[in-house]
Amino acid sequence: MANGGCTIKVVEHSQVSPPPGSVPVTSVPLSFFDLPWLLCRPMQRLFFYHLPYSTLHFTHSILPSLKASLSATLQIFYPFAAKLICPSSPQKPHILYTDGDSISFIVAESLADFDRTTGYGGYHVRDVKDLHPFVPELPHASAVSNTRVSPLLALQVTVFPNVGISIGATFCHVLADGRSFNHFMKSWASFFRSAAGNSATVMPLLGRSVIQEKDPCGLESVLLNGWLSCASNQEDDKEQVQRDVFADKVRATFVIDRAGIQKLKRRVLDRCIEKCEAELPRASTFVVACAQVWTCLIKAQQLSGSLRNQQDADEFYYFCFPADCRNRPELAIPATYFGNCLAICFVQVTGNELVGEDGLVAATKAIGNRVEEFEKGALRGAEKWISNWIEISESGRLLVMAGSPKLRVYDTDFGWGRPKKTEVVHVDASPSIYIGDSRDEEGGIEIGLALKRYEMDAFIGCFEQGFNTI
C-alpha cells in the first residue's frame, strides 16, 4: 500500500463496532456549533509510541486487547461509529447510529526509520508526505435515494517492528472538536490499560439539548442556510488538488519553552511601556505564541517573494483561532460535552504592520483583544461564522490555528508511556498551524506547520531571529 512518501504493508483490515445490541438506533442532530464544520476537511492526528515488539508479537498479544478496548470505548462514544446523513433539502443533516455500525480499523507494518519519522529536537524538517502513510483514509461516502451517507472515523495502527507503533486517526470535524476527540482517545487508552476492562473514564455528555437551549436567536437556521448555499460548490474528489498542494512542501516542529515565552511577553510589554501606551495588551502564553508564529510567517513570505508587491503588504491578513465555549458562565455547557463547542474567532492586521518593527506587538494586541471580546460574549458574531469563513478564505491571506495546549495530548498513555511524538497531519493541506502542549516541559508550546521548502527556510530564520533579538 503506497500512500505518500513510503510504502507500508497492510497486515489486517477489519471493522470494529460497539458490542452488538449495546447501543440502540440513535439520531443525533447537528447543533449550530457543528454546522460550520461541514465545510471542513477531515482531521488527521498521529500518536507515536515506543513499543519494542515484533509485528507477530503485537498482532497476537496486544492487538486483541486493543480492539476489545476500542469496542468498549465506542459503546460510550458511539457517534464515532455512526454515519453522517446529509439528505436533500429541506431535511437537515444529522448523525445516525444503527446497530452494527462500525469503523475501519487497519493494522499495517512499516520498515521506515522510526526515530527519523518521529524526530524530536531541532526543527525536524521533512517532506510532508513522510507522515501520510500512517493516517488512514475515510471510506468513501455512499449515496442512497438522494441522501449522502458518510463514515465519521477511521483508525490505523502501524507497527515499526521491534521499535514502536503509531496510532493514526482520520475523523470528520462535524462530529467532534479536538477536546471531544481527545476525550475519546484518552478513554480508549484508559480502557486498554485496565486489565479487567473497567475504565475510570469520565462519561461524555452526548445529547444536544444543552446546546439547543442556548439558541434563542435561531443561529442553527442561519448557519444551516449558510452551509446549504455553498455546499453545492464543494468538490468531492480533491486528490488532484491535494497532490498540487503537497508538491515541494515540508513540515517542521518548533518548540517554545517557558523561558522563550517569557522573552516574548517581556518584549511586547517593554515595547508598549517604551511607547507610553495607556493600556498594556493581553500577553498570555497562547496569545504571544500565536503572534510570534503569525508575524514570522508573514515576514517569511516577504523574504521568499510570496508578498510580491506593495499592494499585498497594504492588505489585511487574517488569523483564525477556535475558542472553547465549554464552561463559559453565560452558556453553562459542561466540560464533558461531546461534539463541537467552538467559537470561530477572526483577527485582522495589515501586512505592513506584521512585517514592521512592532509586528509582534501588533499581532499580540489584535489576538489579545479578540480573546477579551470572546470572554465578554462567546457567541457575538456567530451568525457570520460561515459567511466570514468563505469570504476571508477567498482572500488567500488567512492563517488558521488548530489545537490547544490545554488538550494535553501527550498525556494519552496506553500503558506504553507518553507518546514520543504527536502530529496533526491535516495542516499539510491548507494554510494552517498546530499549537499544542510541549512533550518535555510543563508550560512549553509545540508548534507544527507545513510550508513550501523555500518558505520554511525563511521562516526558520525569522523564528530564530525573533528570539535572538529579545
Catalytic residues: 173, 413
Q: Provide the phi-psi class of 21: left if phi over 0, else alpha when psi is between -120 and 50, else beta.
A: left
* 397 contacts 316 by C-beta, under 8 angstroms: yes
361 φ, ψ to 5°? -65, -45
Round to whole Å and give the CA distance between 388 and 383. 9
CA-closest candidate to residue 73, choices 173, 182, 159: 182
Which cell numbers in the block locate residue 76? 460510550
458 φ, ψ to 5°? -70, -40
DSSP secondary structure of 367-394: HHHHHHHHHH-TTTTGGGHHHHHHHHHH
Residue type, 389: W
3-state secondary structure of 104: strand
Q: Provide the phi-psi class of 277: left if phi over 0, else alpha when psi is between -120 and 50, else beta.
A: beta
Rg of the chain's alpha carbons, rounded to an integer?
22
334 φ, ψ to 5°? -70, 160
As a dihedral over the C-alpha atoms of residue 142, residue 147, residue 153, residue 156, rounded to 10 degrees, the angle is: 0
Residue type, 445: I
Round to whole Å and give the CA distance between 212 and 31. 7
Length of the chain: 470
H runs (alpha helix) in 320-430: 351-355, 359-376, 385-394
SS3 content of the chain, % helix, strand, coil (to 5): 40, 25, 35
3-state secondary structure of 397: coil
Q: Could you tell me which residues come within 8 angstroms of residue 80 by beta carbon, excluding any fewer than 6 positions away?
A: 74, 103, 152, 153, 171, 175, 176, 184
Helix (H) or strand (E) holding 159: strand 153-160
